[in-house]
């Protein structure tokens, strides 16, 4: 492989990684005029330990903060349509801080539910919320690299960097 081919390969890999990161981000910024920050389902598996939501306040709340955010995690069973509230909590988000809430899953939860619905809302001014991210945390089961599922964009970037490094060493 010559240097021109190597450079083109690196550019292509970086472009694919950037596109992947844009689509892999699981979160939204707060929007003015709406009180619901997130209402989404997260699929769970046998290795899922918990489901979380992270809420970050804007850099400057001009004395209007902190903002209370109500978070509910509901287990959903698609086969029979049943659902159960697993965890309800209120977090207080101050300016330029990130607060988290999570629902820890046990074996019974993983057997009973296919997914967990994450709902976060505020009765306050949602424009004071900079971002909301949610997802799942899983354990590494078995051997291997384990980049699927819970690792997401970080694992993808790590693999791309290793490939770029290896390609660069061949020259």
What phi, psi does 98 have (nearest 5°)?
A: -120, 125
Contact, 134 vs 27, CB < 8 A? yes
* Helical H segments across the chain, by residue range: 3-24, 107-112, 152-169
pTM for the predicted model, two decimal places: 0.64
What element of type H or E holds 138?
strand 129-138
**pLDDT tens column, 106-138:** 999 999 999 999 999 998 788 899 999 999 998
Output the pLDDT for position 50.
Answer: 96
**pLDDT tens column, 29-57:** 444 456 899 999 999 999 999 999 999 99
Output the pLDDT for position 162.
Answer: 57
């Amino acid at each position: 492989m010559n240097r021109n081919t190597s450079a083109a390969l690196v550019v292509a890999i970086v472009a694919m990684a950037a596109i992947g990161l844009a689509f892999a981000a699981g979160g939204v910024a707060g929007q003015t005029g709406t009180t619901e920050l997130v209402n989404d389902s997260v699929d769970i598996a046998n290795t899922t330990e918990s489901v979380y939501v992270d809420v970050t306040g804007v850099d400057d709340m001009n004395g209007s903060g902190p903002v209370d955010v109500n978070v509910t995690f509901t287990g959903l069973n698609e086969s029979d349509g049943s659902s159960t509230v697993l965890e309800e909590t209120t977090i207080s988000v101050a300016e330029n801080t990130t607060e988290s809430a999570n629902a820890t899953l046990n074996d019974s939860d993983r057997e009973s539910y296919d997914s967990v619905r994450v709902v976060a809302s505020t009765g306050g001014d949602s424009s004071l919320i900079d971002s909301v991210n949610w997802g799942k945390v899983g354990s590494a089961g078995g051997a291997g690299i384990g980049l699927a599922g819970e690792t997401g964009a970080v694992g993808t970037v790590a693999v791309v960097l290793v490939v770029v490094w290896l390609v660069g060493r061949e020259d």
